[in-house]
Amino acid sequence: MAESGDGVAPMSRTVAIVFLLAASAMAGDLTGKWSGTFKVDGGDHSVPQRFILKQQGKTLTGSGGPNAGEQYPIENGRIDGDEVRFEITTGEWRFAYHLKQTVPDALKGDLKLQSVNDSRNARVSLTRSKGE
């Protein structure tokens, strides 16, 4: 795009740079404590969630569960841009999370709960815990 003398090309570059900086800030390090809930489709209540996440590049490790005292190791944790995927196994249930970073300190998305005889879907909402 040629500069027209009215600053259109520099303005376009400025907007592009601001957009790229915002996108890279949103895809920041997820290391920390996160809490929130999931609600099974058709369910009448939300289930508490607590995670301790550690990000190293595109790999996510840590633990999660209903509270700080009951935690299970994160398996197959990976990050691709603003998408986060990981699994947790608790006894007979496998929880497969597919989340998206919607703002720097929030993750939202889907959860598939699977056991030998049952399968359910849920919606998840997590926020980074402040000051911990």
pLDDT in tens, 4-17: 455 545 544 544 34
pLDDT at 3 over 60: no
Q: What's the pTM value of the predicted model, to 2 decimals?
A: 0.77
Does 12 reside within a domain? no
On whether residue 103 sits in a domain, the answer given is: yes
Q: Specify whether the CB–CB gap between 80 and 58 falls below 8 A.
A: yes
Distance between CA atoms of residues 44 and 100, nearest Å: 24
- How many independent structural domains does the chain possess? 1
State which residues form the domain around 46.
Answer: 29-128
Is residue 2 a part of any domain in this protein? Answer: no
Which stretch of 23-27, 43-47, 52-56, 127-131 has the lowest confidence by average pLDDT? 23-27
> Which residue has tokens 């996440």?
53
**CATH (domain of 109):** 2.40.128.120
Q: Is residue 11 part of a domain?
A: no
> pLDDT for 92-123, tens place per residue?
999 999 999 999 899 999 999 999 999 999 99
Please check whether residue 74 lies inside any domain of the structure. Answer: yes
- Whether 47 is covered by a domain: the verdict is yes
